[in-house]
Amino acid sequence: MDIIEAIYSRKSIRGYKPDPIPKETLAKVLEAAIRAPSGTNSQAWEITVVTGEALDNIKRGNIEMLASGAEPNPDVDLEPFSGVYRQRQIDLAIQIFKLMGITREDKEKRNAWFQKGYRFFDAPAAIILYADRSVSEARTQFDLGLIAQNICLAAFHYGLGTCIEQQGILYPDVVRKFTGIPESKRITISIAIGYPDWDFPANKLVSAREPLENVVTWCDYE
């Protein structure tokens, strides 16, 4: 598949078919993904792929934490957005709720949608990305970002949809409990993965981008 076509076509998938993903397919995705660059080739990324009972337990555990009103305590710094960045977050939610037919007043449906995120959007598998705490958070955030995008693009090649998700790892102790990831590792991000349900309304979303001229500065170019 053409790289540019893949970059333009990938999008976050928030509705999945229940079909399991063959382990060989996931292995091919991850084999390609670990070709990502990393600072001084440190490759400080570690990956756990979760499905079946373990994933069910994490989904249940996350929802229980959420329902109990427990404050999220992620291993990584996830300060709330402000200003224009917060506005883009709101705009995204408005677009998704519109597609899903969820009104502003419908607290029940909004809550149900929120919970779906903590259940990895009911994907049949989830990928947890983490790194050893001996490597700085700044370094590993960057390199895990690169491998995350590689995973999403390689998955797309194999007909799989993905959604990079912080919601899945906001209660890292739940993830630890059912995966065995030790405390010495910083759980950084998760990726929901599975075959897209193209009839699912939120999957119709094509997210907006700022025009190029608003984000690029050309130096010494005419």
Ligand X SMILES: Cc1cc2nc3c(=O)[nH]c(=O)nc-3n(C[C@H](O)[C@H](O)[C@H](O)COP(=O)(O)O)c2cc1C
**Which positions touch ligand X (CB under 6 A)?**
11-12, 14, 92, 117, 163-167, 189, 207
Q: Is 102 exposed, middle or buried (0-12, 13-18, 19+ CB in 10 A)?
A: buried
The CA distance from 206 to 215, in Å, is 19
Which CB sits closer to ligand X, 15 or 124?
A: 15
Smallest separation, CB 24 to ligand X (Å): 26
The CA distance from 76 to 14, in Å, is 23
Smallest separation, CB 141 to ligand X (Å): 9
Which CB sits closer to ligand X, 140 or 167?
A: 167
The CA distance from 186 to 201, in Å, is 34
Give phi and psi for 74, each to the nearest 5. Answer: -60, 155
Smallest separation, CB 14 to ligand X (Å): 6
The CA distance from 182 to 134, in Å, is 13
Which CB sits closer to ligand X, 11 or 139?
A: 11
Pairing of strands 125-132, 46-51: antiparallel
The CA distance from 113 to 94, in Å, is 12
Smallest separation, CB 16 to ligand X (Å): 13
Smallest separation, CB 218 to ligand X (Å): 25
Angle at alpha carbon of residue 116, lines to 206 and 118, rounded to 5°: 110
Which CB sits closer to ligand X, 14 or 176?
A: 14
Which CB sits closer to ligand X, 89 or 134?
A: 89
